[in-house]
Chains A and B, each alone.
Chain A
Amino acid sequence: MSVLVYIENTDGQLKKSAFEVASYARDTAAQLHTDVVALSIGQVNQDELHKLGQYGIGKILDANTEKLATFVNQAYASILTGAAQKENAHTIILSNTFSGKALAPRVSAKLKASLISGAIDLPKAEGDTIGVKTTTFSNKAIASVSLQSPTRVITVNPNAYPAKEQPSGQVQIEPYNADLPDSDFGTMVKEIVRATDKISLPEAEIVVSAGRGLKGPENWGIIEELANVLGAATACSKPVSDAGWRPHAEHVGQTGIVISPKLYIAIGISGAIQHLAGVSSSKTIVVINKDPEAPFFKIADYGIVGDAFVIVPKLIAALKAHKGIG
């Protein structure tokens, strides 16, 4: 028995969430009194893989073939399942990234494994089953779920579990390959479009978000500048993406992206229950709103009542002074 963790990369660089999930898998293995093995799929060089040693990973399977250079969820699911069987892994851990969301259900169906998405704590053995907590009803409740199959797949939200260094000593990297049928390549990547100058919203540690209080898309300059100063991703409320002021991919809330950054700054967003559901697991929340009765203040850690067009430029200046810029 062991714990297998899937390690994701972007263009050969291990993702931040990969180190988080490696830490989670290492701690899960300790909790279940077993070992952890990592699986990397795609083209990642050995130096990059060795970084996992700092996070307690001693053994890495490296599925690095040209056919697997781009993401094909059927083929990746087969590799992951094959590796789990080879390592006799009964717990398989993935990050709940977009690729993790595409892979985990396929892996669980192949293995008839219990699947839990977005775990918020470490699994605990409870008799013959494993129990783990996750959020449900879009963050409005927490469910304790028992995973009843002898094999289970657990996904962990980005930013939900801290990447903690704990060197493993030696790292052993073992090439891993499996013959895959053509039917595993039902999808083909034609093009990848990535805004390289932007920070990815689901993984961002700091998020600056704005709502209808900004009055129009032409006023987003101050939001982007504030995000720049903080190294933050930008986000928006539903009315803003519905109105076409910002792309849908920036909409955070119950029917958009659910995020849990270290710091969430909400500007000109009143805090409808649907919006709060998407951001309430942020560590620290700052609300800037001219309406002192805005419901958002009820879940905020810090609040400023006032006009965003006055406050945000002042905040940018104060942050620049703090960071010693300009």
Chain B
Amino acid sequence: MKILVCISHVPDTTSKITFTNDNTTFNTAGVQFIINPYDEIALSKAVDLAADGASSITVITVGDASTEATLRKALAIGADSAVRVDAQPLDAWFVANQIAAYARANSFDLILTGRESIDYNGGQVAGMLGELLGLPSVSIAKSLSVENGQARVEREIEGGKEIITASLPLVAGTAEGVAEPKIANMRGIMSARTKPLEVIAPIAVEPLTKIEVYDTPPARGNVKLIDENNIDELVHLLHTEAKVI
């Protein structure tokens, strides 16, 4: 099976998020970048699926040269080759079109993404890829297995799950629980240095959205502390002041 895993290069979850240029640009100074945690889950799933010895895993990202460290990490975890589309990821539509162009030329059986990236949180690329490639897609897969060219997927729904089957090729966005996280070992880290990392030019696509300005969320008021021997007071405040019960 040929598997493509789409990787986003995102600020570490502990990063302080600040902006420059009149709040129009994300300030990357001092920010540590990581593989988007959900994409790491997708990659871990791919590593499990490729344990049959008859599969290959390619990882792809859209970004400048600074994203190569993230791709090398993906190679260390278990991908066989990496591709970097040399462009700024302008929006989900732009990214999906870049990945679709590569996927069309290299026909994959399974394309995995994370359910969303932790920076822009759109969760849009998997569905767009499905549509652009004319393939079925699942946005939030909690479990995924493949047998005889058929995938069995558990899709998250409100208050439960839906068990669906899909023919391959398939695009799936993965959520927590789909695979045990894989950690790069020393052999992986050593071999990652010599695995192929191809840089390709982007295709011409106009983005459809633009972030004009960023803002910080409104600050929350000060906490009202209630004595543990006066729980009735909390119930009273929730009822009369916050009006939530």
Contact = CB atoms under 8 A, between A and B. Distances in A.
Interface string A240-276: 0100000111010011101000110000000001100
A284 B244 contact: yes
Interface of A: 10, 15, 71, 73-74, 77, 97-99, 101-106, 108-110, 112-118, 131, 133, 135-149, 183, 186-196, 198-203, 206, 230, 241, 247-249, 251, 254-256, 258, 262-263, 273-274, 277, 280-281, 283-287, 297-307, 310-311, 314-315, 317-319, 321-322
Given A104-B127, A109-B128, A200 B139 contact: no
A91 B87 CA distance: 30
Contacts of A141: 17, 19, 214-217
Contact of A74 (B130, B157, B207): B130
Contact of B176 (A199, A256, A321): A256
Tell me the interface secondary structure of chain B in the complex.
mixed
B216 A301 contact: no
A1 B160 CA distance: 37
B221 A109 contact: no
A105 B125 contact: yes
B139 A314 contact: no
Contacts, number: 279
B195 interface: no
Tell me the interface secondary structure of chain A in the complex.
mixed
Contacts of A251: 176
Interface string B209-245: 1111111110011011111100110110111001011
Contact of B215 (A144, A254, A310): A144
A255 B224 contact: no
Contact of A188 (B165, B242, B244): B165
Given A117-B122, A322-B245, A136 B176 contact: no
B164 interface: yes
A152 to B, nearest CB: 8
A238 B71 CA distance: 26
B61 to A, nearest CB: 19
Interface of B: 11, 13-14, 17, 19, 26, 37-38, 92-93, 96, 118-128, 130-132, 134-140, 142, 152-153, 155-167, 170, 175-177, 207-217, 220-221, 223-228, 231-232, 234-235, 237-239, 242, 244-245
Contacts of A77: 131
Contacts of A143: 211, 213-215
Contact of A145 (B11, B96, B158, B210): B210
Contacts of A109: 93, 96, 127-128, 131-132
Contacts of A310: 228
A284 B237 CA distance: 11
Could you say which of B124, B125, B132, B221 has the most chain A C-beta atoms within 10 Å of its C-beta? Answer: B124
6 shortest A-B CB distances, which residue pairs?
A: A105-B127, A186-B136, A194-B160, A200-B159, A109-B131, A306-B228
A326 to B, nearest CB: 15
Given A104-B124, A186-B136, A301 B163 contact: no
Contacts of A147: 208-209
Given A73-B137, A131-B212, A263-B238, A192 B160 contact: yes
Contact of A102 (B127, B159, B207, B225): B127
Nearest to A274: B13
Contacts of A304: 225-228, 231, 234
A255 B176 contact: yes
Given A298-B223, A319-B245, A102 B160 contact: no
